Structure 1
Amino acid sequence: MGRVTARRRVIRIRDGAVSTRPDTLVAEEPLEIRLNGKPLAITMRTPGDDFALAAGFLVSEGVLGDGADVANIVYCAGAREDGGNSYNVVDVRLVPGTVVPDVSLERNVYTSSSCGLCGKASLDAVRTTARFPMADVPQVRVAPELLATLPERLREAQRVFDRTGGLHAAALFSETGELIDVREDVGRHNAVDKLVGRALTDGRLPLSRSILLVSGRASFELAQKAVMAGIPFLAAVSAPSSLAVDLAAETGLTLVGFLRGTQMNVYAGEERVVLP
């Protein structure tokens, strides 16, 4: 299995003094995701939690919504030239008879570590494929004082970031602020997929009483992943995109941006925020 970090030689310059030293970097490698043996997507990711990443990706694409539909997830034997297992190719096998929705699986998607989607067609696609409508989600209400504590708790849980400074993180909190899970990856969307995939295989979808916190900005793609997993509340320490706000408003997702201490902006779904 691939390593989460790698060591590389670096020339360090500090106040005019030059030295040579090894540096710890976050690893980035491609992962090919296959569905029933058929190539579906390639994403650049930090190795680790690959099975959860693949499962979470399929939730985001509208293919999966129930862990019972998954027969197994395996690294692909024979994918290397020497016939051995490739830890950069994962195959998700569904239970025979599982109906796969029409979500353009004929494509061969390349997903970069900072990719996003855009356009009205994307909004329509999420609206039509979401399995857990926000209208059916219990009314979660969160006080700003609780939200203000979450970024620091996420930061404390980022183990690899402390060594590399190069990873995004995503965390799931309960509505009362309990840390449920945290995942890291070079791609912020991969970190969310790892969270969602783990929840799928543990039988916890929809995550209807959860808060999703991401360490960077809130893109359309992250809002999409929250909606597809039935997460009612998405918070980000940086800015949301305009399309993320549009998607949140259309689907009923609560979206909070610039969450930094006691300061935050509520862009959509303000009914879930306990306002003074």
Structure 2
Amino acid sequence: MKRKVFYSSKGLWEEREEEMLEEVPLSVYVNGFKLSTLFRTPGEDEALLMGLCFTEGIIREKEEIASMRIGEDVAEVRIKGRYKGRSEPKGIEETLRELKRKAIVSLKPEGERVRVDQLLECTRVMESSQRLRKRTEASHAAMLFSYKLEPISMAEDVGRHNAFDKAIGKALMEGRLDEVFIATLSSRISFEMAKKAAMIGVKILVGTSRATSMAVLLGEELKMTVVSVTKTGDVILYTSSLPPMIR
């Protein structure tokens, strides 16, 4: 989407044409119950819905999706099992207990220790793949890497949660979630982002902004290494009580 804007440089105004990132609402229903309204960048909606249903614990396999109907502003997902609607928010202790039961991060192999320069390279690969970011300077990105540090999937979106769900949905649709080792994010690591990572078994979660206290607590509880990469190329390791995954 392009729009005429007024641009000021050195005190002078000029009219330019600017490419803008689209942000469009999509109300998501699962078996007739409203799950959420997402403000997302249109495109890859099937992967977005697949990833969202997985990270919300609604499905565990892609085959559990019976059908999807995606309209301009409404998406209807039918799953083969029962779905009673979204439950009320829980306290932190109950949330952690539920995540320990559902998340697969602690069940996956530890993998080899990763060097700092390898982590930095993963973030560089993600950033170099951000085509929307280069055009609009407005998108977030998420990328999944295998135990061999090879890219599995990548997605961009106006919302960081949506970008992560799209990347997760792509990996799920391709049957590659079991291969996921590292996830890189072009954003801070919040509790919700850490929760999504834990649900798919990420062992090392890397953000290009800082982590929140709840995200670090979740990482400690579920044995997931949480790392931030600074703009100067330094690395911050938050989950120091875990076995060292980074050398």
Note whether the superposition's TM-score is higher than 0.5: yes
- Report the alpha carbon displacement of residue 259 of structure 1 after superposing the two structures with TM: 4.8
Query: Which has the larger helix fraction?
Result: 2
Where do residues 236-251 of structure 1 align in structure 2 (5 Å cutoff)? 236-251=207-222
Q: 1:212 to 1:118 in 2, by over 3 A?
A: farther
Number of residue-to-residue matches in the alignment: 245
1:202 CA displacement = 2.1
Aligned equivalent of 1:83: none
Match of 2:95 among 117, 122, 127: 122
Deviation readout 1:216-257 (Å, 9 max, x if unpaired): 110101100011112222101110000000000001111111
Moved >6 Å (runs of 4+): none
Q: Which amino acid aligns with 1:265?
A: I
Name stretches of at least 5 consecutive residues in structure 2 with no aligned partner: none
Letter in 2 for 1:38: F
In the alignment, the residues of structure 2 paired with residue 262 and residue 174 of structure 1 have an alpha-carbon distance, to the nearest angstrom, of 22
Hey, what's the Cα distance between the residues in 1 that align with 2:139 and 2:187? 10
**Alignment correspondent of 2:144:** 172
Is 1:28 the counterpart of 2:19? The answer is: no
Q: SS where residue 15 of structure 2 aligns?
A: strand
Within 5 Å, which residues of 2 pair with 1:56-205?
56-75=51-70, 86-95=71-80, 98-100=81-83, 105=86, 119-130=92-103, 132=104, 134-141=105-112, 142-205=114-177
What is residue 183 of structure 2 aligned with on the other side?
A: 212
The answer for unaligned runs of 5 or more in structure 1 is 1-5, 76-85, 110-116
Q: CA deviation at 1:174?
A: 1.9
**DSSP 3-state at the match of 1:149:** helix
Task: Give the letter aligned to residue 194 of structure 2.
Answer: A
Change (3 A) 1:89 1:147: same
Corresponding position: 1:255 with 2:211: no
Within the candidate set 160, 185, 198, 1:227 is matched to 198
Give the TM-score taking structure 2 as reference length: 0.90
